Amino acid sequence: MNIVALNSSKNWGGNERWLTTALNGLSSKGHQIYLIKRHNTDHWNSLSASINVIEAPFTNELSIKTKAIIRNTIKERNSDILLSTKRKDYVLGAQIKNKNNISHIMRLGISRPILKRDVIQRYVISKKVDGIIVNAQSLKSELLNYSFIKSNFNPDDIGCIYNGYDITNSKTPRSKKIRSTLLIRSAGRLTIHKGYDILLSALDSINDLQTKYTLEIAGEGPEEKRLKALINNYNLESHCKLVGEKKDVVSFFSGADLVVIPSRSEGIPNTLFEAWMAKKPVIATTAGGTSEVVDNMKDGIICEPNSENLMNVLKNYLNNRSDFKEMGLNGYNKLVQSFSMDKMTRNLEQYLMGFID
């Protein structure tokens, strides 16, 4: 296959991490890969050297120069698949498909109820998209409940491909003894859908713990100022810290006793696999497809994405954590057995081949 992928992101995040994994995997199978990315971005250092990287301005959804670069790339390489990964890319990809004989596949990484209200996206998906990749069955079910998708897509055209994790390039950390002060860590973009305000509210509600704790949240994003204000309002300054972005999340998690993923909306979060790679116990919400892959009370603890439910599971864990000492190892074993990068690549390759005449 000859694949052109679009990514207009200014910053690194879960979407970009998935795309890097996907393109590296497909390239390793001998497919020709071209990534058209926003110019002057430097977060693509983990791409395989065999992937051709082309820059474009991505100034807006009608960018004439960006469209010209995409069209020329497709024409010169006789490309089979156009893969778009963000809203701006979806719209640009739709315009390109309008004048080129190419299959347009979009990747949707998290739940997006806004699709019901976004007239442009509804039109693009209905008329100018051939397939949709999601990373959880719950997202596929959500999409198929939308009438504009149900009437325009065969269910098989929406491919559920679980995220893969590159275990071979990650170091397994050594286990640490239980400390008197428990260290909780979380990581991700500081956005509303990541639910860090839910986590802070849950901690504010806990006043009868038998265990001292510290919470460190790694990441950057638009919610940073509000989260700092919440920490102050809840008088959690001595317990909770925003520690900035961490490039190596597995190493960051390896120093923790517990990882919490308090998301409001997700697909299947990369941080779940990073916590499992670090062999750490995880508390995560039911958002997206997390509950599809986590065996509750065995390799993780699942709760609803609200402060009361999160508070209750935190209290249970913190007061009885010796009962969950095997949870991190169970998660690691599941990661190795079921979520390898090779398995994701095979599934993605098979799905994309179905759109080539």
- Residue 75, pLDDT > 60, answer yes
Amino acid sitting at position 5: A
Asked if residue 172 has pLDDT above 60, the reply is no
**Domains in the chain: boundaries:** 2-164+340-353, 168-338
Average pLDDT over residues 38-65: 95
pLDDT, position 107: 95
15 — pLDDT class (breaks 50, 70, 90): confident
Q: Which residues contact 149 (CB under 8 A, 6 or more apart)?
A: 125, 126, 143, 158
Is 264:193 a contact under the CB 8 Å cutoff? yes
pLDDT at 41 over 90: yes
Residue 174 has pLDDT above 70, yes or no: no
87-103 pLDDT, tens per residue?
899 999 999 998 888 99
* Domain topology for 2-164+340-353: Rossmann fold (3.40.50)
Q: How far apart are CA 14 and CA 269, in angstroms?
A: 8
pTM of the model: 0.83
Average pLDDT, the chain: 90
- What is the mean pLDDT of the segment spanning 16-33? 94
Beta strands (DSSP E) in the chain are 2-7, 32-38, 52-56, 81-84, 103-107, 131-134, 158-160, 181-187, 212-218, 240-242, 258-261, 282-285, 301-303
Q: What is the distance between the terminal CA atoms of the chain, rounded to a whole angstrom?
A: 11
pLDDT at residue 142 is higher than 80: yes
pLDDT of residue 175: 52
pLDDT interval class at 173 (50, 70, 90): low
pLDDT at position 176 over 60: no
Instruction: Name the β-bridge partners of 104.
Output: 82
Range of weakest confidence among 64-68, 100-104, 146-150, 239-243: 146-150
Nearest to 15 by CA among 163, 145, 153: 163
Report, as an integer, the average pLDDT of 185-211: 88
Q: In what order do the strands lie in the sheet with 240-242?
A: 240-242, 212-218, 181-187, 258-261, 282-285, 301-303
Q: Which residue has the higher pLDDT, 350 or 125?
A: 350
Rounded alpha-carbon distances, angstroms, from residue 237 to 234, 252, 310: 8, 21, 20
Looking at the chain, the whole-number percentage of residues with pLDDT higher than 90 is 70
Read off the pLDDT of residues 270-296 as tens digits, 9 standing for 90 and up. Answer: 899 999 999 999 999 998 889 999 999
- Residue 267, pLDDT score: 83
Asked whether this chain's domains 2-164+340-353 and 168-338 adopt the same fold, the reply is yes
- Choose the weakest-confidence range: 116-130, 158-172, 321-335: 158-172
Q: Tell me which of 12-21, 165-174, 342-351 is least confident.
A: 165-174
Q: For the domain with range 168-338, which CATH number is right: 3.40.50.2000, 3.40.50.1000, 3.40.1280.10, 3.40.720.10? A: 3.40.50.2000
